[in-house]
Amino acid sequence: MLQVGIIGASGYIGVELVRLLLIHPEAEIKLITSRRFAGKKISEVYPAFKGLSDLAFSDVNLQEFSKLDLVFTSVPHGKAMEYVPELREMGIKVVDLSADYRLSKEVYEKVYGEHRGYLKAVYGLPELHPEVRNAELVANPGCYPTGAILATAPLVKLGIVSEIIFDSKSGISGAGNEPSERSHYPNLAENILAYNITRHRHRAEMVQELEKFGKVKIHFTPHVIPSIRGILTTAHVLLKESISEEEVRRAFKEFYKDTSFIRFVELPKLNDVRGSNFCDIGWRIDEENQRIVVLSAIDNLIKGGAGQAIQNMNLMCGLDETTGLMFPPLHP
Amino acid sequence: MLQVGIIGASGYIGVELVRLLLIHPEAEIKLITSRRFAGKKISEVYPAFKGLSDLAFSDVNLQEFSKLDLVFTSVPHGKAMEYVPELREMGIKVVDLSADYRLSKEVYEKVYGEHRGYLKAVYGLPELHPEVRNAELVANPGCYPTGAILATAPLVKLGIVSEIIFDSKSGISGAGNEPSERSHYPNLAENILAYNITRHRHRAEMVQELEKFGKVKIHFTPHVIPSIRGILTTAHVLLKESISEEEVRRAFKEFYKDTSFIRFVELPKLNDVRGSNFCDIGWRIDEENQRIVVLSAIDNLIKGGAGQAIQNMNLMCGLDETTGLMFPPLHP
Amino acid sequence: MLQVGIIGASGYIGVELVRLLLIHPEAEIKLITSRRFAGKKISEVYPAFKGLSDLAFSDVNLQEFSKLDLVFTSVPHGKAMEYVPELREMGIKVVDLSADYRLSKEVYEKVYGEHRGYLKAVYGLPELHPEVRNAELVANPGCYPTGAILATAPLVKLGIVSEIIFDSKSGISGAGNEPSERSHYPNLAENILAYNITRHRHRAEMVQELEKFGKVKIHFTPHVIPSIRGILTTAHVLLKESISEEEVRRAFKEFYKDTSFIRFVELPKLNDVRGSNFCDIGWRIDEENQRIVVLSAIDNLIKGGAGQAIQNMNLMCGLDETTGLMFPPLHP
Amino acid sequence: MLQVGIIGASGYIGVELVRLLLIHPEAEIKLITSRRFAGKKISEVYPAFKGLSDLAFSDVNLQEFSKLDLVFTSVPHGKAMEYVPELREMGIKVVDLSADYRLSKEVYEKVYGEHRGYLKAVYGLPELHPEVRNAELVANPGCYPTGAILATAPLVKLGIVSEIIFDSKSGISGAGNEPSERSHYPNLAENILAYNITRHRHRAEMVQELEKFGKVKIHFTPHVIPSIRGILTTAHVLLKESISEEEVRRAFKEFYKDTSFIRFVELPKLNDVRGSNFCDIGWRIDEENQRIVVLSAIDNLIKGGAGQAIQNMNLMCGLDETTGLMFPPLHP
């Protein structure tokens, strides 16, 4: 049984880690931290956990983590770098869910600012990076990049893509559990809000990962929709040369042939993946063969966050990647 | 043309007053105040008003109100009492939308705390209080009491009612435009939240108004639903003696025969009144004739707030009560 | 490993049975039927199941059920009685999710019409009926009665209750997966709809079960809210005599001391139980001690349907009642 | 006072025409038709209209229209062509809200099929087509093209655009008032659905209108979001050459300098235009100056339907285009 801890367990992603690890057959949560709720039981703060867990939040004291096999750091970017190097020195495996280890130092500092604890990590998209299996430090991808990269990497690899416009639509849980203007019900209900329209920081991850497969221009515009969970990515893939439906299908099948959580469906929909670790993918080639529209749907808190982190943990610790993650979506 | 001002014009009700007065053919807004947004145009703060109004918020300076015919005070309870007495001394008619003048001084102090500027006012439910027509100070009713009292006064007047349980369901705009735990989209969407379950302050208004028609026990439990606007009141009316459908219908028709905004419908629904000043009412007598369920639907910001305030203004200023208010609901 | 079948597996409750049984460690689904989708894989009809199940729907042929341990009948009332007697003659345990076996024959025929296959069954609310453990035919309760009865039985048992008004608010999934006027998004969003205002058939179950604990008048008014899953029951409990908070708490604790899925919380909320088999209960005593408001929250498709049916299966087959059901709610 | 009629007044757009014309100071509705509801009052079918209108639906009998000044045809494509030629022969002005007169005959027949009553009409986007003022037959634009064309025509006119990807998000009312799989609440709530992903027929209008300003490749992918009203268009405009923020602003200002309903805002949002005839437009130039993202927000039933039709009526009949249309959005 793996002994794990979670630094930053009171945000939506942290809580989701707790929720999923509670039903994981091979892992046991030993420690959860939260500055804000230190000393309180998780079931006091989140009544959803009543009867399910006696865990209590504590303050961060890295010494207490020394006997653990793996730690999830689920804190804001800039904050993870305060813990990760020390945890790694203690020999503890780390899955970091912040942005701190996803990019090269150079790109990170351009996009996020100074990095005060850089280490090399594996980018934790196991469908693209089998080397997660031997990794000791994995940088869990951003929610938007997960949906965007998975939707288009097979096409970029074919060498036929000139440019991609990612028009993404996310549930509001991606913005965290603090009430804000954007999450205020009258501002979001019956609405859809574009934000960071040409300059969302997640774009850097898309560029980094997709350019491994070939040169391609990447545009990204995110929106929040009146939904709690889920990201639908509409990838408008502009082509350099035409391609047949058959070739596209073959490319996707081949690319994902050894994976567990990619499903090809006619129409990816949030309510077919909500509550699950799946990434559903579907596509259409437009009539003049100048564009392929690829849609992907994920649960932003699971495949786009806590579920993917556990998938990484499984691989880092020698388990089957599906262990504890093959639960069905909540449908309807 | 009436010259009017609004003290506290940046909250949902204040903004709704602006919105409705902009299309009122006999009134003109001269002044709007907001501490928070003083100096800013309303169209800067609320882009919905772009191209419609050049009004700018100012700080409250009561001297500037001296030439107005009527002022709406749309500030929190406890705050209105700082302005209303002085406005009345200046001879200006006032419609107060706070709770400060709705109750007797005794009841007010029991429910809300000390009153530091008490004046006698008319309770501004024009369907019950024709004396609004000559009033100089009108206390605009709470949103919940509007729906609750209109739904049941005719039955209480018949003398057949022993007890009423008001189970009310409100859109979240009633809680104001400040983001909060309750208005946080993930907390409200796909949910319904009971609050102030046995002790909401609006109950005092229901008791005051309904007991004018007869002795009756009043219970009240409010909920917020995932809706921006609207209050559906489910009034469970327990009977002392049985009554026929015919008698009930006659009682409602007679009671509201001279009114403009009461409609009798098979099934009151929020989306039949949203954006309008109507109060839709419908009822069912249960099989053993021990209960009548009366439903009423209003737009909480209009008939439950700004619209009713303008209806009161119309009557206080000698206009037809429907002036500027006979617009259709936004359907669908 | 239990071998089970589901007659009527394509409606929301039937699909939920499949979903939950797929993660049940001691049961295996051998057969699922659907007239409409016979011959199709469940993953073709519901892409949510892709990668999770190879089950295909078949037409009903009772002979194929002969080797099963237990069958769930999840068909409309009037339809279950066509299958249940024969299944019972074949010696197969049955959990019926229709209304056909919930009431006495006399009451059934008054409420639903002629019964052409009556058998005596245990009412499958295990928190009230430990005899589920030895039962061979269990009638799974209606969704509304589950929330209503669990919220109030302990108080009725105390002998202090004169009358209860159940004002229930349900997600629309309770109305099934067929598009209808009521489920049409523009008719339900930002709205709340009362229906069967004084005469919903589920009331008969509430009367039957609660009167086992004492004489009490029962009123029931259901509403649908803009939510997919969940029932919040607001039980307005009118008292014959006053009672202290302490006594109420003791009554609830004592009543449910041997149960697994009842949680006492400050404020029951749909989003604390969604996706789980819990029933959250909370209460407030009103100031004059004439009313207790009890709130209960359930997921209508789980504790109000498929989850409770599996809880019954567990007990009928000698398993712990929590087997395969102790998963956390989807929060947020 | 203009005397007008509406053929097909029971769908969402037809009902919206009634709603808006009821508050129009210079037009009076004389006739409304509906096959389905012939003989019924509109207030019986839609209780929202109780107390506001005594209009009753009738069957279509074109002779009864002979004295009218103008008729709105709000019927499905293929159906309008049965009425429009005869109405025009009777000398009656027509605003057709179907697709039948928006395109050239050639394009129409390629996109929609055979045309059995072709006439030349003015494309009723008054911001682009001042010739609406003298027109006798106006083809009211589709809802998506309205948002898409208004967002981008000024840029195409500049000659700097190579390609546009319109990623549009619409409220479900655009799909009509008939319940369907897509409009079923559990299928749409907390979701977003792409449809007609590469082949929506509205694209032909975008191509026709935008190519008047220059050669440009047009892609279009629509989605429905959990919203009743509104279309947000995210136009990803790919550039042939770079341009400054200042030039873009000047181009938009110049292009729309004589219009009434275009507003430039920082962030176009559905809830700033809902219930109004405005089209809000905003844009961002991306960092490498290869893309401009233009956002536009409209109420699909008003600026994208009935409101625009009345704007056209105003112009065709010599009124100011804003007559009866300068009402504020419903905010919040």
Q: pLDDT tens digits for C245-277?
A: 999 999 999 999 999 999 999 999 999 999 999
List chain D residues with CB under 8 Å of B275: 275, 330
Give the catalytic positions of B in this structure.
143
Residue C322 lies in a domain: no
Distance CA B320, CA C171 (A): 43
Shortest distance between the Cα of A185 and any Cα of chain C, in A, equals 11
Mean pLDDT of D135-157: 98
Question: D56 forms bridges with which residues in the sheet?
Answer: D41
> Tell me, what's the pLDDT at A121?
98
Shortest distance between the Cα of A270 and any Cα of chain D, in A, equals 5
> Tell me, what's the pLDDT at B323?
98
**Interface A:D, Cβ pairs < 8 A:** 130
Residue B325 lies in a domain: no
What's B151's domain CATH number?
3.30.360.10
Q: What's chain D's length in residues?
A: 332
Confidence of residue D287 (pLDDT cuts 50, 70, 90): confident
Confidence of residue D8 (pLDDT cuts 50, 70, 90): very high
Residue of B nearest to D301 (CA): B332
Q: How far are the Cα atoms of A43, A306, B261, D251 from residue C16, in angstroms, in the given order?
A: 26, 24, 46, 56
∠ CA B115-B117-B123, nearest 5°, is 85
Same domain, C95 and C72: yes
> CB–CB of D15 and B331 under 8 A?
yes
Among D170, D183, D185, pick the best mutation site for testing chain C contact (most C Cβ within 10 A). Answer: D185
CB D204 within 8 A of CB D176: no
Same domain, D89 and D147: no
Distance CA B124, CA A50 (A): 47
Question: B283 forms bridges with which residues in the sheet?
Answer: B294
CB C175 within 8 A of CB B215: no
Residue A59 lies in a domain: yes
Query: Sign of the C-alpha dihedral, residues D326, D327, D330, D331?
Result: positive
Residue of D nearest to C185 (CA): D185
Residue B57 lies in a domain: yes
Q: Which two tokens stand for residue D83?
A: 């009425």
Same domain, D92 and D151: no
Distance CA B321, CA B305 (A): 15
The number of domains in chain C is 2
B189 close to A (CB below 8 A) = yes
> CB–CB of C177 and D186 under 8 A?
yes
Shortest distance between the Cα of C84 and any Cα of chain D, in A, equals 31
Same domain, B159 and B290: yes
Q: Is the ipTM of this complex over 0.90?
A: yes
List chain A residues with CB under 8 Å of C189: 190
Give the catalytic positions of C in this structure.
143
Give B252-310 pLDDT, tens digit per residue.
999 999 999 999 999 999 999 999 999 999 999 997 889 999 999 999 999 999 999 99
Residue D17 lies in a domain: yes
Same domain, B173 and B191: yes
For B52, what's the count of Cα atoms within 13 Å in the CB-facing half-sphere? 27
CB B151 within 8 A of CB B295: yes
Q: What is the DSSP letter of B145?
A: H
Contacts of A49 (CB under 8 A, 6+ apart): A18, A19, A42, A43, A55, C328
From the candidates A143, A262, A297, A309, which is the catalytic residue?
A143
What's D9's domain CATH number?
3.40.50.720
List chain B residues with CB under 8 Å of A179: 179-181, 183-184
Q: How far are the Cα atoms of D197, D205, D235 from residue D210, in angstroms, in the given order?
A: 20, 8, 13
> Tell me, what's the pLDDT at C287?
77
Of C194, C238, C267, nearest to B194 by CB-CB distance is C267
A89 close to C (CB below 8 A) = no
B214 close to D (CB below 8 A) = no
> CB–CB of D48 and B173 under 8 A?
no
Residue A160 lies in a domain: yes
Cβ-based burial of A219 (10 A; exposed 0-12, middle 13-18, buried ≥19): buried
Same domain, C123 and C173: no
Same domain, B14 and B134: yes
Q: Kindly report whether the global pTM for this prediction surpasses the value 0.80.
A: yes
Of C179, C226, C227, nearest to D180 by CB-CB distance is C179
Shortest distance between the Cα of A241 and any Cα of chain C, in A, equals 32
A48 close to C (CB below 8 A) = yes
In the predicted model, is pLDDT for residue C288 greater than 90? no
D17, containing H or E segment: helix D12-22
Q: Which of C184, C275, C280, C264 is nearest to C232 (CA)?
A: C280
B243 close to C (CB below 8 A) = no
Same domain, A100 and A218: no
> CB–CB of B280 and D47 under 8 A?
yes
D279 catalytic residue (yes or no): no
Among B21, B45, B271, B330, pick the best mutation site for testing chain D contact (most D Cβ within 10 A). Answer: B330
**Quick one: residue A271, left, alpha or beta (phi over 0 = left, psi -120 to 50 = alpha)?**
alpha
Give B148-200 pLDDT, tens digit per residue.
999 999 999 999 999 999 999 999 999 999 999 999 999 999 999 999 999 99
> Tell me, what's the pLDDT at A288?
83
Residue C324 lies in a domain: no
What string of pLDDT tens digits covers the 332 residues of chain A?
Answer: 999 999 999 999 999 999 999 999 999 999 999 999 999 999 999 999 999 999 999 999 999 999 999 999 999 999 999 999 999 999 999 999 999 999 999 999 999 999 999 999 999 999 999 999 989 999 999 999 999 999 999 999 999 999 999 999 999 999 999 999 999 999 999 999 999 999 999 999 999 999 999 999 999 999 999 999 999 999 999 999 999 999 999 999 999 999 999 999 999 999 999 999 999 999 999 978 899 999 999 999 999 999 999 999 999 999 999 999 999 999 99
Of C50, C266, C329, nearest to A48 by CB-CB distance is C329
> CB–CB of D179 and C179 under 8 A?
yes
Residue C147 lies in a domain: yes
> What is residue D78's three-state secondary structure?
coil
List chain B residues with CB under 8 Å of C201: none
Same domain, D158 and D247: yes
CB B272 within 8 A of CB B230: no
Give B4-60 pLDDT, tens digit per residue.
999 999 999 999 999 999 999 999 999 999 999 999 999 999 999 999 999 999 999
Range of the domain at A250: 143-298
Computed over every residue of chain C, the mean pLDDT equals 97
List chain B residues with CB under 8 Å of A227: 189
**Which partners does chain C have (≥3 C-beta pairs < 8 Å)?**
A, B, D
Same domain, B284 and B263: yes
Shortest distance between the Cα of D269 and any Cα of chain B, in A, equals 9
Confidence of residue C13 (pLDDT cuts 50, 70, 90): very high
> CB–CB of D171 and A190 under 8 A?
yes
> Tell me, what's the pLDDT at A287?
77
Same domain, C136 and C199: no
Give D295-314 pLDDT, tens digit per residue.
999 999 999 999 999 999 99
Lowest mean pLDDT among B153-167, C110-124, C284-298: C284-298
Same domain, B78 and B202: no
> Tell me, what's the pLDDT at C279?
98
Q: Which of A188, A278, A279, A285 is nearest to A233 (CA)?
A: A279
Of C169, C219, C286, nearest to B198 by CB-CB distance is C286
Q: How far are the Cα atoms of B169, B192, C177, C182 from residue C174, in angstroms, in the given order?
A: 20, 16, 9, 12
